[in-house]
Amino acid sequence: GYDVKKEAADGFVKRGEEVTFTITTTFPSFTVADSEDNTFKIIDTPTGLDIQEITSVKIGDTSLKANEDYTTNKADDGKYTIEFTKTTIRTSNTNAGKKVEVQYKAIVTSEEGYTNTANTSRNETEMGKTEVKGYTGTITLTKYAEDGNAKGIVICNVAVSYTHLTL
């Protein structure tokens, strides 16, 4: 199999928040390099997310064009498929071994956070899989005076940062 890595720009989220995801994998080689039957797909299965748009697809340093180099399909259940076109695949394996990077934006739709799984398939055989999770939560800060009294104390805005977990 091939390594598939997925990262989220934010793992501490709230419902309605937009999160940017990056999927990184390796373009496969094909036994019969220019066969019409060859396929390469990246399948993203979100739970608690609504994928909005693909912002970038690259092979190596080359940016790809939607509908020319790859197509996308969003199923009714939210599963999102990026399928590389025959033009991109039928290159006598010149893309084999190159880094593939996909970036996209999604909106958190669940109060409980999200789980997001990405896998790749070559000729309909799964080659690798990864998952990331995002968590929701609240933080309440109460400021007390030296005498222990919170009455009359003004609370200010506080920014909290969190580093996501990749599983």
pLDDT in tens, the chain (167 residues): 568 888 888 888 889 999 999 999 999 999 998 899 999 999 999 999 999 999 999 999 999 999 999 999 999 998 999 999 999 998 899 999 999 999 999 999 999 999 999 999 999 999 989 999 998 877 777 767 777 665 655 555 544 444 444 43
Model pTM score: 0.81
Which distant-in-sequence residues (6+ apart) come within 8 Å of 114 by Cβ? 13, 19, 46, 47, 48, 49, 106, 108, 133, 134
DSSP-derived 3-state class of residue 166? strand
Helical ranges in the chain per DSSP H: 86-89
